[in-house]
Amino acid sequence: MTEAPIVTVRDLVKTFPVRGRAGEPKRTLRAVDNVGFEVLRGETLGLVGESGSGKSTTGRMLVGLISATSGTVELFGHHIAAGAEKGALNKVRSRLQFVFQDPQNSLNPRMRVGDAIAEPLDVAGGLSRQTRNDRVRELLELVGLPRTCGDRFPHEFSGGQRQRIGIARALALRPDFIVCDEPVSSLDVSMQAQIVNLLLDLQEQLGLSYLFIAHDLAVVRNISTRVAVMYAGGIVEMAPKRDLYAAPKHPYTQALLAAVPRPVPGRARPPSVAGELPSLIDPPKGCAFHPRCPFAFDRCRVEKPRLKPVEGGHAVACHLHEPGGNRPPAL
Amino acid sequence: MTRVPLLSVENLTVQFRGDRGWVTAIEDVSFEIGAGENLGIVGESGSGKSVSALSILRLHGRANTRYASGAIRFGGRDLLSMSERELRKVRGGDIAMIFQDPMSSLNPVLTVAEQIIEPLQLHQGLSAAAARRRAIELLEMVRIADAGRRIDEYPHRLSGGMRQRVMIAIAIACQPKLLIADEPTTALDVTIQGQILELLRDLQREIGMSVVLITHDLGVIAEFAQRVLVMYAGRVIEQAPVAALFDRPMHPYTDGLIDAVPKLEGDLHRLTTIPGNIPDLATVIPGCRFNPRCREAKDACRRDPPALLPVGPDHLSRCPPRAAAGGAV
């Protein structure tokens, strides 16, 4: 049985103009380059990449925080990206929400947390004072905070608790889809586990779908149904979770997995992948990863590989995996 | 086997002035670092790991800090009783430090050259030309390609990984005996983090320095440290050689930290968590400070402050019930 996806993204592109020095030609930075994926009801797509991979820009375009340069975003059957009908975003706005990375900066320090959580309700309007306050207490309880702490200010909470407040606020309007932009990256390891488990519980209770953005593969493993890996603006590999971790195909995914420090003393650490992340203004020709790739061959330096299905829902953008390519050794 | 420690911190207690008087940030912290050794200090935010490290060079604001008791012995002298002037010769000389965020540690209006040359002229009295030659050599040591050109760049022109390499070059400029690295890879991308850890390890071998690495990531600890100090709420709660710490953690908090690390292999069940939060510095918790979050807490744990007890070779733990249940080897 196939169900229509609640989110469908096709050929999404975002470029930013870059102001050069006087007299120099205008240049553009290609932050997101032909990204496409779907999110099904009740599932979590993990979107993983390092700085400049375009993961956050993609997340922001999905909820309309920034507009796409080209491409389509379809949410619950409504097109919202470039060239969409006016007001299309408003039809779906209450059904999608965003959780930010840094709960320190995304909460107004002078607003009581109860009011911060109720703000979406106040904007939507139509609730009595009593119903509104009951809903705030219910939301606090839902995210594992004391029902009575709505009178307090953000600074009275720890980082993990502030992230719970951010999640409560996102849940206020009973959304169906939440973009979580590195929600645990600024937290201690022990707090990360608490927040990931909370998001899993909420998903089960409320039937939520998530796009979960992270910068390393370890964090998304527990929460994701499928994982997409981004590099320099494009998706280089996408697969059901089990396949991605058991048999990563793209050399970058392999490098990213190898780079995660493991809590196993004495383990022979695989050598780090050399080089730095590429410039997005002047990206390498061909495959963006080729200057760092240990398996790069001539074709990689001239032709950009496209994301193509290889087997059972596993897709990879790498010439090595096309007919005639030299496959990299399995990790 | 006795080793002569390069640095020893003895019963250090540090207090900060807050809104409501003095609060104790770290209490009775003791540890040693041998020559050429890697010591890891691990704990959550608020555990006192950075306070301990910054105290070694007395880098806390003078007006609101009290080194209430203890001593920090380095080369036969107590760093805590040195004058500011004497201490300045140690900072950046025999003991150097790198921080989490290289962008805010580098001066944005000075070129890389100016920032590396300063300690060379200050501590080693090199001429401008000799210092510049040495600076380029140092950038090559931290594997910055095209060092001769990069040296005249400003920090904003460099990537995060590159900036951390520059910080490391400045830190090792005077061949320190001890490098204190406070979360040096936390702000970096995963693939760059690996490169920086490899670099630190190579440099350590080349220079023969000791490293204190502070991190909240037990994965980094496992890959880098030889001995580990686990801190919680301002106290050392466990201290052990790295293999023993992961094989036989003797404090429930250490267990919890190890279990909370997301795994890349094995079953995909829920992550194990440590419930609750680390307490505020001003909160008074009778008995063991971890007891409100501990699954194994007994009546005694809520009443008596636990002592740091030997539980194995070179292994100390601040959990008397576990020590009694078979810690002694």
Give the model's pLDDT for residue A1: 45
| B178 bridge partner residues | B95, B210
Give the model's pLDDT for residue A331: 44
Percent of chain A scoring above 90 in pLDDT: 68
Structural contact between residues A211 and A47, judged by C-beta atoms closer than 8 angstroms: yes
What residues in B contact A191, CB-CB < 8 Å?
44, 277
What residues in B contact A159, CB-CB < 8 Å?
45
Greater confidence (A327 vs B149) lies with B149
For strands B178-182 and B95-98, give the pairing.
parallel
Q: Which domain CATH number covers B182?
A: 3.40.50.300
Give the model's pLDDT for residue A269: 79
Residue A84 has pLDDT above 70, yes or no: no
Residue A116 has pLDDT above 80, yes or no: yes
Q: Is A25 on the interface with B (CB under 8 A)?
A: no
- Domain hosting residue B99, numbered range: 5-232
Q: Are A189 and B220 inside 8 Å of each other by CB?
A: no
* Residue B153 CB partners (closer than 8 Å, separation 6+): B111, B112
Average pLDDT, chain A: 90
CA atoms within a 13 Å half-sphere pointing along the CA-CB vector of A253: 30
Instruction: With cut-offs at 50, 70 and 90, classify the pLDDT of residue A147.
Output: very high
Give the model's pLDDT for residue B6: 95
Structural domain count, chain B = 1
Instruction: Express each pLDDT in A246-281 by its tens digit.
Output: 999 999 999 999 999 888 998 887 888 888 889 898
Q: Which of A48, A157, A189 to mutate: most B Cβ within 10 Å?
A: A189
Residue A101 has pLDDT above 90, yes or no: no
Q: Is B36 on the interface with A (CB under 8 A)?
A: no
Q: ipTM of the assembly?
A: 0.86
Instruction: Express each pLDDT in A158-193 by its tens digit.
Output: 889 999 999 999 999 999 999 999 999 888 888 898
Tell me whether residue B65 is in a domain.
Answer: yes
Instruction: Express each pLDDT in A120-142 by its tens digit.
Output: 999 988 899 999 999 999 999 99
Closest in B160, B242, B268 to A222, CB measured: B268
Tell me whether residue B89 is in a domain.
Answer: yes
CATH, range A7-261+269-321:
3.40.50.300
Q: Which of B271, B290, B294 to mutate: most A Cβ within 10 Å?
A: B271
Average pLDDT of span A67-84? 85
Structure tokens at B128: 């401008």
Tell me whether residue B256 is in a domain.
Answer: no
Structural contact between residues A129 and A170, judged by C-beta atoms closer than 8 angstroms: no
Positions in chain B short of pLDDT 50: 1, 328-329
Q: Are A218 and B262 inside 8 Å of each other by CB?
A: yes
Give the model's pLDDT for residue B260: 87
Give the model's pLDDT for residue B326: 66
User: Nearest-CA distance from B4 to chain A in Å?
Assistant: 25
Q: Which of B261, B265, B267 to mutate: most A Cβ within 10 Å?
A: B261
Rounded to 10 deg, the angle between the B160-172 and B190-207 helix axes is 10
Instruction: Express each pLDDT in B255-294 by its tens digit.
Output: 999 988 888 887 666 788 888 888 888 888 999 999 999 9
Tell me whether residue B164 is in a domain.
Answer: yes
Q: Is B16 on the interface with A (CB under 8 A)?
A: no
Nearest to B27 by CA among B281, B304, B317: B281
Give the model's pLDDT for residue A70: 93
Q: Are B192 and A276 inside 8 Å of each other by CB?
A: yes
User: Nearest-CA distance from A36 to chain B in Å?
Assistant: 24
What residues in A contact B18, CB-CB < 8 Å?
none
Give me the residue spans of the domains in chain A.
7-261+269-321
Give the model's pLDDT for residue A326: 61
Structural contact between residues B229 and B40, judged by C-beta atoms closer than 8 angstroms: yes
What residues in B contact A257, CB-CB < 8 Å?
264
